Structure 1
Amino acid sequence: MTTDVPSRPVVPALPVVSALRRSPVATRKLLVFTCFLVTAATLTPIVMMVLVAFQSDSESMAAQPSFWPGTWHFDNISRAFELVPLGGYLVNTVIFAGGTTLLETVTAALAAYAFARLRFPGRGFLFGIYLATLMIPTQVTLIPQFILVAKAHGVDTWAGMILPHAFTALGVFLLRQFFLSIPRDYEEAARLDGANRWQAFTRVIIPLAVPAIATLAVFKFITQWNNLLWPLVISNSDSTRTASVGLQVFQSANGTQWNLLLMAATITTVPLIVIFFLTQRWFVRGITMSGLGGR
């Protein structure tokens, strides 16, 4: 006895979808056009920022502003540095972003290797709890962090600014997944040659994980370079104030100097663009080789 299985009704494809399936050229053109629109939408605010940065004071504060400068005022660069200690703010930003990046890459690599290779009771549970901290918004932990730093007399100090951001679960997760994708045979061969656990980690695992570590370092540096909330809370003087916090000096009760403010914002953005282009090869390679498919 046989039973007829009801056939699934055939839904005709839309004409546009059918045309794209039949024509790879049309699909490629649509993809290029979509990428162009997204790129234009992303770059438009940046271009407007740069144009207004070279305007005169009257042009930038006009009731009906025109984004194209009537006259290019390149002296706005020197005026931005004269109005506030922008050079010192940039140096402080490099110290803050570089210090947190260096410490996190070290701590994340050590913790990730322990979770990936070492066997100890409760390893999976502890790693799950550690990842659960990613669900907690930064604003929730801001006040407890500030209280701890204040009790340790770390307000307006480099230690108080850097140490609370030197340990994150995201960096551990990224490097752990990458370490899991590295075959254990490499370490076992090094152990057979007489290397201990630390030597196998530093001489075998770390060189193979350079793309993932570089990706983590770039992400961390860019994030901390743009960090506003924590430096705003913990810094009380120009000796530790970063560029993102220093931009508020251009705003006063008499109004906002938009051209100088956007000039300072442009100057603080240039280092990030340079760093990205210098590390683009490692960045892309680290993304493609990261541990989203790790076992």
Structure 2
Amino acid sequence: MSSRSTTRTSRVPRSRATKDAGVHLFLAVGGVIMVFPFVWQLVMSLSTNSQVTSIPPTFWPGELQWANFGRVFESIPFLDQFWVSVSITVLRTAGQLLLCSLAGYAFARMRFPFRRVIFGLTLSILMVPPEVFMIPQYQIIQNLGLLNTTTGVVLPGIFSAFGAFFMTQFFRGIPVELEEAARLDGCNPWQIFIKVMLPLVKPGLSALAVLTVVWSWNDLLWPLVVTTDTTKMPLTVGLASLQGQYTTDYAVLMAASTMAVAPILILFIIMQRRVIDGIASSGLKG
């Protein structure tokens, strides 16, 4: 009996070790697949245009072409477009955090006529492709005289149905007793929202902020329609302008893309734990 039990207990750690090794191998392969495009982009940014377009591809350039990064500033007004992208991202993120948190709190906690109907209509926006709104949005921005301005790019993205739903899920997960206790202490609705509710949904605000930053930084179609002045364009539109009709300097394009993606990549690496925790928490709420 003792020899059989010893054999069984020895098999259990081995099976667990084998399972863990398989999981780690799968995760390692997935990580390599995810990181490879960024590494390949960096390698291509340090290559010549002939090496980028060569067949079979050149996996490592013989001499690193650091001059490609300097040529980016000669091809487009990179710094102007960079600060335009920063302005658009900051304003959109601030607007989303303010308006979506207010909407989420109202839908989750307040009782007013047609609350469910309005919430359903807000969610129905998620089923409509953004391209459907583009023509009326453009006409509104044109009538307001906001073409080729940062405000014209920011306004349509200052609120989102996803952000409102996202924050609603967080506010619904907060115990009602906390709100009732604050009301008994004499707090008005604004004080309850600012002093009690907002500190409790910081993971959701952090996750929404990072998601909005990534979306705003990568937004291309709407800024491409609204802006025509190269100094008023964000980086996404500036990068698109580097693609010529007949020829494209892919090495310079890859160098510009590397510089454009670096800030957002660093931000995501720093904030990834908050993003994952925030999205996981919102998915658990009723």
Distance in 2 (alpha carbons) for counterparts of 1:163 and 1:253: 31
Alignment of 1:119-268 (within 5 A): 119-253=111-245, 255-268=247-260
Distance in 2, Cα, partners of 1:178 & 1:81: 44
Q: Is the 8 A contact 2:84 2:150 kept in 1?
A: no
Distance 2:242 2:97 in 1: 35
CA separation in 2, counterparts of 1:33 and 1:203? Answer: 46
Deviation, 1:72, is 0.7
Distance 1:285 1:253, change over 3 A: closer
2:284 paired residue number: 293
Out of 20, 41, 48, the position equivalent to 2:33 is 41
Q: CA RMSD in A?
A: 1.9
Distance 1:253 1:178 in 2: 48
Select the residue among 105, 110, 121 that pairs with 1:118.
Answer: 110
- What residue is the counterpart of 2:6 in the other structure? none
Deviation sequence 1:74-116 (CA, Å, 0-9, x none)? 1221221222111111111111111111101100001111001
Confirm or deny: 8 A CA contact 1:215 1:287 kept in the other structure: yes
CA contact (8 A) 1:108 1:172 kept: yes
Number of residue pairs the alignment of both structures matches: 275
Structure 2 gaps, min length 5:
1-10
CA distance in 1, matches of 2:32, 2:273: 23
Q: Over residues 250-277 of structure 1, what are the superposed CA-to-partner deviations in whole Å (9 max), with x where a residue is unaligned?
A: 2224511111100000001100111112
1:112, 1:173 within 8 Å by CA — same for their partners in 2?
yes
2-side partners of 1:197 and 1:161: how far apart? 33
Q: Is residue 59–residue 66 contact of structure 1 (8 Å, CA) maintained in 2?
A: yes
Asked whether the equivalents of residues 90 and 242 of structure 1 are also in contact (C-alpha less than 8 Å), the reply is yes
* 1:56 matched to 2:69: no
| Partner deviation per Cα, 1:124-177 (whole Å, 9 max, x = no partner) | 121111101100011222222112222222211222110111111100111111
Structure 1 counterpart SS, 2:230:
coil
User: Structure 1, unaligned stretches of length 5 or more?
Assistant: 1-18
- Tell whether the 8 Å contact from 2:77 to 2:231 is kept in structure 1 after alignment: no
Tell me how far apart the structure 2 counterparts of residues 65 and 284 of structure 1 sit (CA, whole Å): 36
Output the CA distance in 1 between the equivalents of 2:188 and 2:162: 28
Q: 1:61·1:257 contact (CA, 8 Å) conserved in 2?
A: no
Contact kept in structure 2, 1:76 and 1:263, CA below 8 Å: yes
1:239 counterpart SS class: helix
Distance in 1 (CA, whole Å) between partners of 2:273 and 2:56 is 43
Identity fraction in percent: 34
Q: What CA deviation, in whole Å up to 9, does each residue of 1:172-193 have, x standing for no partner?
A: 1111110011112212222222
The amino acid of 1:52's aligned partner reads M
Mapped to 2, the partners of 1:278 and 1:44 lie a distance apart of: 20
TM-score (norm. length: structure 1) = 0.88
Normalised by the length of structure 2, the TM-score is: 0.90
* C-alpha distance in 2 between matches for 1:253 and 1:122: 52
The CA deviation at 1:64 is 4.5
CA distance in structure 2 between the aligned counterparts of 1:249 and 1:216, rounded to whole angstroms: 30
* 1:191–1:200 CA contact under 8 A, matched in 2: yes
1:80 pairs with 2:56? no
